[in-house]
């Protein structure tokens, strides 16, 4: 892989990870149409995902730092709660310690609850998902599905639910949708934002929730890729080219996060549907016309 190819794929990853047009679908399209041989390099995919993680941490660092501290407090509260019941056994009318004390800790629990169905769906459908990357017809269909989901937002109004009052059941539903978004062409950000709006979440909250809940999902995908990794590339090429790809993904990803926040607030996310339909239909013509990748 050349330096130019690494940067190009980093830009594609940064653009499509957060804009509702499917990063996995576009990486598959870029690899096939431009003959960029990245599909065999698991490490490169890990590095690109690391770049988008950096973008999320920079864009939402204040919120993420609060959530990290809140998560640690939940662990402490859980220990106090367990210790209370083992020692007090609910006697003398003393109230048990609370596990969830504020909205920040509740946000952490919402992310945990949403991640569970994501992992289950991804593991159950893993072989089918991997097969979907073998032909451009799958990203094409996925993009058409994404376009349809985005158009549905024209019929939805922003709700008022935030971390203080959104139910765990609704968080699980959004996580379930995120699991199916592992198929190439189905946008993770787009589908989860649509799912959140459908359940009555506010625009500002669902965008923040969608991006932050992607952290465990991306980390999980990275872990699976690392476990399967076998290196055949020179270390010098890995450091320079892969580093450039990660930097490109991080910089472009950060910009796209800010852009999408503004787009969702203005209720214009459905504009991406026309792009998804255009690319999806073009890919169908290409694949049905005999293009083999």
φ/ψ of 98, rounded to 5, equals -80, 140
Confidence at residue 55, expressed as pLDDT on a 0 to 100 scale: 93
Rg (CA), the chain: 21
Question: Which pair of structure tokens corresponds to residue 173?
Answer: 């539903």
Residue that wins the pLDDT comparison between 290 and 123 = 123
At 158, is the pLDDT very low, low, confident or very high (cuts 50, 70, 90)?
confident
Residue that wins the pLDDT comparison between 86 and 198 = 198
Least confident of 23-37, 141-155, 226-240: 226-240
Mean pLDDT of the chain: 84
Q: Residue 201: beta bridge partners?
A: 161
Q: HSE on the CB side for 126, CA within 13 Å?
A: 8
Nearest-5° Cα angle at 169, 150 to 80: 135
Confidence at residue 292, expressed as pLDDT on a 0 to 100 scale: 47
Calculate the dihedral angle through the C-alpha atoms of 14, 28, 22, 221, rounding to the nearest 10 degrees.
Answer: -80
For CA atoms 190, 195, 196, 197, the dihedral sign is: positive
Give me the residue spans of the domains in the chain: 3-85+102-288
At 229, is the pLDDT very low, low, confident or very high (cuts 50, 70, 90)?
low
- pLDDT over 50 at 280, yes or no: yes
Least confident of 35-39, 83-87, 120-124, 278-282: 35-39
- pLDDT over 70 at 128, yes or no: yes
Q: HSE on the CB side for 292, CA within 13 Å?
A: 0
Tokens 């255009």 locate to 278
Q: How many other CB atoms sit within 10 Å of the CB of residue 60?
A: 17
- pLDDT over 60 at 39, yes or no: no
Average of pLDDT values for 263-277?
90
- Residue 222 Cα distances to 47, 167, 229, 284, angstroms: 9, 29, 10, 30
- pLDDT over 70 at 40, yes or no: no
- pLDDT over 70 at 92, yes or no: no
Burial class (CB in 10 A: 0-12, 13-18, 19+), 269: buried
To 10 degrees, what angle do helices 137-152 and 271-288 make? Answer: 160
- pLDDT over 50 at 277, yes or no: yes
Note the residue count of the chain.
293
Confidence at residue 73, expressed as pLDDT on a 0 to 100 scale: 94
């Amino acid at each position: 892989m050349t330096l130019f190819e690494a940067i190009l794929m980093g830009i594609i990853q940064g653009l499509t990870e957060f804009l509702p047009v499917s990063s996995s679908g576009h990486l598959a399209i870029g690899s096939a149409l431009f003959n960029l041989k990245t599909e065999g390099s698991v490490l490169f995919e890990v590095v690109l995902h690391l770049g988008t993680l950096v973008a999320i941490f920079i864009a939402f660092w204040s919120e993420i730092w609060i959530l990290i501290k809140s998560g640690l407090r939940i662990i402490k509260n859980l220990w106090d709660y367990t210790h209370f019941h083992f020692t007090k056994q609910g006697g003398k009318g003393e109230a048990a310690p609370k596990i969830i004390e504020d909205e920040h800790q509740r946000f952490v629990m919402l992310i945990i609850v949403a991640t569970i169905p994501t992992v289950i769906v991804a593991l159950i459908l893993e072989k089918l998902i991997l097969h979907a990357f073998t032909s451009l017809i799958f990203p094409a269909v996925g993009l058409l599905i994404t376009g349809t989901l985005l158009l549905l937002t024209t019929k939805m109004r922003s709700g008022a639910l935030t971390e203080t009052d959104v139910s765990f059941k609704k968080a699980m539903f959004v996580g379930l949708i995120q699991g199916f978004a592992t198929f190439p062409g189905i946008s993770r950000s787009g589908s989860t934002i649509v799912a959140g709006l459908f359940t009555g979440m506010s625009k500002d909250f669902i965008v923040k929730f969608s991006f932050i809940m992607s952290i465990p999902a991306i980390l999980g995908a990275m872990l699976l890729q690392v476990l399967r990794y076998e290196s055949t590339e020179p270390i010098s090429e890995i450091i320079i080219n892969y580093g450039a790809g990660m930097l490109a993904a991080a910089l472009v990803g950060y910009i796209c996060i800010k852009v999408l926040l503004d787009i969702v607030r203005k209720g214009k996310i459905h504009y991406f549907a026309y792009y998804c339909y255009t690319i999806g239909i073009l890919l169908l013509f290409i694949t049905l016309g005999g293009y083999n990748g």
